[in-house]
Structure 1
């Protein structure tokens, strides 16, 4: 069984595209081979800046011969039906066989497809793969029609078996497949032939090319940490940068350089970001002081002077970059220490959204909402309002304009420099969190208040103007904002009524919408949606839609913790579902109870009771909820159920009032045995109508008591 080796050799492929391209090459080629009937034992894809490589082991030498029988129409069928069958099968009438069947004589076509050599199939599959390769961006060069990410120079495509190595015959836009490749551009120019993947990989390494990107990354990290350790320092871990740098070099040579003393007092995050974004340098930190003091760069070649010239050039360029950063830092500090209002005022001229006003409008809304939230999170209202007013001021700073990823962090430095307390400064950095399901959640009361206000303003604002996520599109990251609200509330155990908060904030949002729209000629004013009555109060339909969206994010969050969506739905159906902390306590208690044998059997008993009761109410046209009387009970199990329901209600009602859901759920689960005994010994729909009505009213009590804990009709199973 032969092995296949493919290499597509080109000009430099952008590092960010290499890993995906290698996987695309592997998937498209192997899928094409299997579809054509060629199976294989294993496949591996590799990438360097100048090549995509695919190695396939244990492939069939040819596709198997196929014999297929197709049953056609009856011999006396209309001519059109027979001709259609002939076209579909690709045969002539003389090739058909007539066979007797219980339905009469029928035409059969026997189609035989001979096997094809692997080389022939590979050539077709590889050409299709190259011509239809899914590069994010591609280019055309010369006079050909071929498109590739960068000009494609050569194609290596060989089959290796016990008899030796053969080149797969194929030509693509004048490029003929061969059995040779090139090594390192500078250290080993010139082509050389290869006979197998092992030969290919070994010769590449001798030609100063590490084929495997994981090997290059490991080599870079090991050398970098060793260099730093020898100087008593440590490399700041950056997996994203490591993967990117491994895609920039074929023969990594790690060098450590100095940062000029003039820049060592810059915030470490500024140094790290500037070096990472502009130069692709790793930061090297002094563990004793936390300062970034040196950098690691990765060259693509060895030099006679051990990289001294490369380092000198890199240090010169880095000094120019850091001089800019220092200029921004010192200018920003002067503004922060004199009057940060300059920055906040400039945000009045920055549009947040054409229907929601400026960044200044948004900051005022967040500040007002943070004041409302402050008592619930244990923060001072005035401090929360001030922290919200300052939290986004750094968006106007020169440093954040140059490095947007430093927003918030620089705000923390600037607010402290302006003389504000550290807890207010921390809000600037922490109020953006959490940014995802695994991001840290702020815990400081001021940060929680402003973070919640920030996310609720985003959600309320875009719901007010009907800019909601659709399918996979979420341009304003509203799903992330909703998940942030969920995690903030649950992590801090906050007792918040989201409906009241959203309703209160909607007024300010509609006001901002109206003001923004006045500036647009012919714009249509935004008004509140239809009003619904919820728990005895009028609530805007937009509020209910937004609450449902937050509940959806809650389901995703709790599903990852092992709580099923139907259990959450059973709790969402209860009153007070806008208190997420209360809702989750109920859901966790219900989940725990239903995981027990008593809970599972009680659920079946409840569903049986509910089904019998619902059918009787539909049939009789009445509602059986007028109270059952024990004096009409005929069976001991019936009397026992009356007593059990009274005892359970006496325990459940105060437990629910105290929000002690485990106790309430346990009391409900305790009904399992008396309900089971009742159904085992008693016929509900008896001929005695008085007894029947009493028993149906008893079932109504079961439904009422269980439904006071959760809507069990929504639980599956």
Structure 2
């Protein structure tokens, strides 16, 4: 079946926008095609520095004729309702059909040629494309990320004719701006298009560009006994900057290697988009870099490398100046500057925030085995580097530079490490701090953020989280769980913050394959010790995967439903269950099982042996099933005690979790 090929060719598209642009193009095209009744066999989009491309396979050359059925007002409805429906349907009342007291309209629509539909689709996409930033040019009626230059649009090897603000569609595109003959060429289908681009020095697929960059970098490194310092974020970016990416190895003045490696890498990455390299099998950086050129130079890139080396030297000279000036100043003047830096209008200055973090670190330190004095000093210095020149130039190095400056000034290594690591973890792939002083300060930093913003009611809403509170909560959770810490969160926050932690814990455990309702069931006990909560959840998860667990949960729900139904009639009887007086093996069996369960269950919970507690609960499965199947609870003479027995089942199981919150 016919193939649709669309290319929207423009001036440079920012690399950061390309991936989302490809997704938006695919989504919009699918929506428009679906609205026309088309379901392509395959549809794929591509984004690059100057073009968005779409290829759709298996489109018909025309829509089939369609018959639409519209439901109208009921017979006898007000005239206004009938008039509105007739206008919508484009019919008169005598053309309607009455069915089951409702007027129905049957509208036949003639199928349209697919080129007409595609032309309308492309114009709608171009005029409604959701660029985060765009330009208006020409007649000021067309908005695109950069000026749109060409539109290639062919269906079944034929041009789909249309024009958008003076830009006609065609079957012509162009390749690399500088390499080759740099002149337009014709493409009638996707195979011709890809081959033509390749012949004109353009790699269409971003994944192929990334592979080309990585392989080229590794080849250059291998030849010089070097290793590439891989950087996925930088790879994603440079793959969007070059149509014909060509790695070039350059040399850096070795004198700059005395700077912290993070400074060198950040300067390379932020300003120049260079990859760093190291000597094979060694730590630290080598005095070289790799830049990604957009041309394949005749001299192998020698001139490009030399030019880029000069620029890098200039940048690193600036970094050297910032470092030299910073080490002349030191922490105390920086701390004084924080008095003039507002953290938040309702939460005071950064200096006031530091005071709060110091107090929290002192409170947390004994709980995590940290030296209180070191934790307080590290907390006091943790934010100081925000006033340094280096962090002013490279904000992403906050904390990291503080750690380097602390070592340079001869401070205790535990304090320096805590300053360096107090922002961690900043993402799911970031390691958590493990040294006690670092843990205390990292927790204090995140808890101050959470407590403060919750106190002024600046909580995350929907997808909005301007203060990264979800990330802070996940950081607290990871630090606690991965270090096996035993902390009561209630000491640091109120109910709404504890509930927020519960939601974040659900996300963490769900990513590990755990059910969110099990987290609810455990949190309902009022426990706020995350390590203990997770242990309960894991034991509960394992128990409910067994037949005993599944059947006991079903029995719990039956017992709970009986109690709820009886509670609607009046207050349930209070007090402890008594030995049954009726001649019932099932009743006696459950009574004895509950009595025998009491001590071993409490002992297991006291030892936090939650798997053992589940094993004890499993002993109730048979007696509960027999009781519910063989005992008439509402027999007047025995009703009160039998309800107390069911309540005893619920209470026993409720020591482990609130089984009423568990689905299934």
Give the TM-score band, short-chain normalised.
Answer: over 0.9
Correspondent of 1:416 among 392, 401, 407: 407
| Counterpart-to-counterpart distance in 2, 1:108 and 1:368 | 73
Correspondent of 2:219 among 226, 251, 256: 226
Distance 1:258 1:114, change over 3 A: same
Correspondent of 2:169 among 167, 170, 177: 177
Distance 1:67 1:241, change over 3 A: same
Correspondent of 1:136 among 132, 138, 150: 132
The CA deviation at 1:146 is 1.0
Instruction: Name the counterpart of 2:271.
Output: 278
Instruction: Name the counterpart of 1:455.
Output: 446
The CA deviation at 1:664 is 2.2
Correspondent of 1:660 among 583, 602, 609: 609
| Counterpart-to-counterpart distance in 2, 1:76 and 1:476 | 57
The answer (yes or no) to whether the contact 1:617–1:624 under 8 Å persists in 2 is no
Instruction: Name the counterpart of 2:49.
Output: 49
Distance 1:388 1:177, change over 3 A: same
Q: Give CA deviations for 1:408-449 in whole Å, capped at 9, x if unaligned.
A: 111111111111222221112211112233432211111111
Q: Give CA deviations for 1:354-393 in whole Å, capped at 9, x if unaligned.
A: 2222211111211121111111111111111111112222
TM-score by length of 2: 0.94
Correspondent of 2:512 among 552, 561, 568: 561
Instruction: Name the counterpart of 2:434.
Output: 443
Determine whether 1:326 maps to 2:320. yes
Instruction: Name the counterpart of 1:304.
Output: 298
| Counterpart-to-counterpart distance in 1, 2:31 and 2:489 | 51
Instruction: Name the counterpart of 1:528.
Output: none
Describe how 1:522-601 pairs up with structure 2 within 5 A.
Answer: 543-575=494-526, 577-601=527-551
Determine whether 1:208 maps to 2:158. no
Correspondent of 2:337 among 335, 340, 346: 346
Distance 1:289 1:635, change over 3 A: closer
Instruction: Name the counterpart of 1:509.
Output: none
Distance 1:40 1:665, change over 3 A: closer
Instruction: Name the counterpart of 2:18.
Output: 18
Q: What CA RMSD, in Å, does the superposition of the two structures yield over aligned residues?
A: 2.4
Q: Which has the larger radius of gyration?
A: 1
Q: Give CA deviations for 1:590-643 in whole Å, capped at 9, x if unaligned.
A: 222222211222222223233333433443x44423223326242233222222
The CA deviation at 1:251 is 1.7
| Counterpart-to-counterpart distance in 2, 1:98 and 1:555 | 54
The CA deviation at 1:73 is 8.1
The answer (yes or no) to whether the contact 1:684–1:696 under 8 Å persists in 2 is yes
Instruction: Name the counterpart of 1:511.
Output: none
| Counterpart-to-counterpart distance in 2, 1:444 and 1:394 | 21
**1:297 counterpart SS class:** strand
The answer (yes or no) to whether the contact 1:46–1:52 under 8 Å persists in 2 is yes
| Counterpart-to-counterpart distance in 2, 1:566 and 1:451 | 30
| Counterpart-to-counterpart distance in 2, 1:85 and 1:411 | 70
**2:193 counterpart SS class:** helix
Determine whether 1:638 maps to 2:587. yes
Instruction: Name the counterpart of 1:314.
Output: 308
Instruction: Name the counterpart of 2:34.
Output: 34
The answer (yes or no) to whether the contact 2:48–2:240 under 8 Å persists in 1 is yes
The CA deviation at 1:333 is 2.6
Determine whether 1:606 maps to 2:556. yes
Instruction: Name the counterpart of 1:512.
Output: none
Instruction: Name the counterpart of 1:529.
Output: none
Determine whether 1:694 maps to 2:645. no
The CA deviation at 1:68 is 4.0
The CA deviation at 1:304 is 3.4
| Counterpart-to-counterpart distance in 2, 1:596 and 1:399 | 58
The answer (yes or no) to whether the contact 1:625–1:700 under 8 Å persists in 2 is no
The answer (yes or no) to whether the contact 1:274–1:321 under 8 Å persists in 2 is yes
Instruction: Name the counterpart of 1:159.
Output: 155
Q: Give CA deviations for 1:522-579 in whole Å, capped at 9, x if unaligned.
A: xxxxxxxxxxxxxxxxxxxxx122222222212222222333232222222224x122
| Counterpart-to-counterpart distance in 2, 1:225 and 1:639 | 76
**1:296 counterpart SS class:** strand
Distance 1:345 1:147, change over 3 A: same
The answer (yes or no) to whether the contact 2:594–2:648 under 8 Å persists in 1 is yes
The answer (yes or no) to whether the contact 2:451–2:492 under 8 Å persists in 1 is no
Instruction: Name the counterpart of 2:623.
Output: 674
The CA deviation at 1:335 is 3.0
Instruction: Name the counterpart of 1:507.
Output: none
Which one is further off, 190-199 or 447-456? 190-199
| Counterpart-to-counterpart distance in 2, 1:566 and 1:236 | 42
The answer (yes or no) to whether the contact 2:572–2:643 under 8 Å persists in 1 is no
Gaps of 5+ in 2: none
Instruction: Name the counterpart of 1:269.
Output: 262
**2:477 counterpart SS class:** helix
| Counterpart-to-counterpart distance in 1, 2:462 and 2:72 | 45
| Counterpart-to-counterpart distance in 1, 2:420 and 2:100 | 81
Q: Give CA deviations for 1:437-492 in whole Å, capped at 9, x if unaligned.
A: 34322111111111111111111111222222222221111111112222222222
The answer (yes or no) to whether the contact 2:70–2:105 under 8 Å persists in 1 is yes
| Counterpart-to-counterpart distance in 1, 2:624 and 2:461 | 46
| Counterpart-to-counterpart distance in 2, 1:590 and 1:408 | 40
Instruction: Name the counterpart of 1:247.
Output: 240
Q: Give CA deviations for 1:58-94 in whole Å, capped at 9, x if unaligned.
A: 2111111123466778999997676555423223578
| Counterpart-to-counterpart distance in 2, 1:664 and 1:201 | 64
Instruction: Name the counterpart of 1:516.
Output: none
| Counterpart-to-counterpart distance in 2, 1:654 and 1:480 | 37
The answer (yes or no) to whether the contact 1:625–1:701 under 8 Å persists in 2 is no
Distance 1:107 1:401, change over 3 A: closer
The CA deviation at 1:500 is 2.6
Instruction: Name the counterpart of 2:286.
Output: 292
The answer (yes or no) to whether the contact 2:248–2:293 under 8 Å persists in 1 is yes
Q: Give CA deviations for 1:474-529 in whole Å, capped at 9, x if unaligned.
A: 11111111122222222222222222344xxxxxxxxxxxxxxxxxxxxxxxxxxx
**1:177 counterpart SS class:** strand
The answer (yes or no) to whether the contact 2:521–2:662 under 8 Å persists in 1 is yes
Instruction: Name the counterpart of 1:515.
Output: none
| Counterpart-to-counterpart distance in 1, 2:588 and 2:299 | 98
**1:466 counterpart SS class:** coil
**1:189 counterpart SS class:** coil
Number of residue pairs the alignment of both structures matches: 662
Distance 1:654 1:97, change over 3 A: closer
Determine whether 1:199 maps to 2:192. yes
| Counterpart-to-counterpart distance in 1, 2:316 and 2:403 | 21
Distance 1:598 1:428, change over 3 A: same
Which one is further off, 323-332 or 280-289? 280-289
The answer (yes or no) to whether the contact 1:236–1:283 under 8 Å persists in 2 is yes
The answer (yes or no) to whether the contact 1:38–1:62 under 8 Å persists in 2 is no
